[in-house]
Amino acid sequence: MFKALSDETRLRILALLSAGELCVCDLVSILELPQSTVSRHLAYLRNAGLVSDRRQGVWMYYRFAQPAGPLHKDLLELLQHRLSELPLARQDALALEQLINQKGTAACR
């Protein structure tokens, strides 16, 4: 789990997901990275137990995982509260806000 937190892109993804569930297409748009790169990082986070996913049609949606135990719960809560302090996370949050304002929602269409 801690190795999954050692990458800046994965921390940025987690910071965005702290606002709620997001589609891969939204993450790609905000992070300005190829879909394959974002999906690889999401798979790493999923395998580490930090995020969970669901499919809706052709789109994959990601959110913070349900904690598997007390330590996992404390770590996820800490991440959700502190990730917004990262410099790039603030920029990403503004980009997410703009995306929501443009589309009316942060869901792929």
- Angstrom distance (rounded) from CA 38 to CA 60: 12
Q: Is residue 83 part of a domain?
A: yes
**How many domains is the chain partitioned into structurally?**
1
Q: Is residue 18 part of a domain?
A: yes
Q: Is residue 106 part of a domain?
A: no
Q: Is residue 109 part of a domain?
A: no
Residues 53 and 22: beta-carbon distance below 8 Å: no
pLDDT by residue, tens only, the chain of 109 residues: 889 999 999 999 999 999 899 999 999 999 999 999 999 999 999 999 999 999 999 889 999 999 889 998 998 889 888 888 888 998 999 999 998 888 765 556 5
For residue 101, the number of C-alpha atoms closer than 13 Å in the C-beta half-sphere is: 6
Neighbouring-strand partners of residue 56: 59
- Angstrom distance (rounded) from CA 2 to CA 20: 22
Q: Quote the domain boundaries for residue 35.
A: 4-99
Q: Is residue 105 part of a domain?
A: no
pTM over 0.85: yes
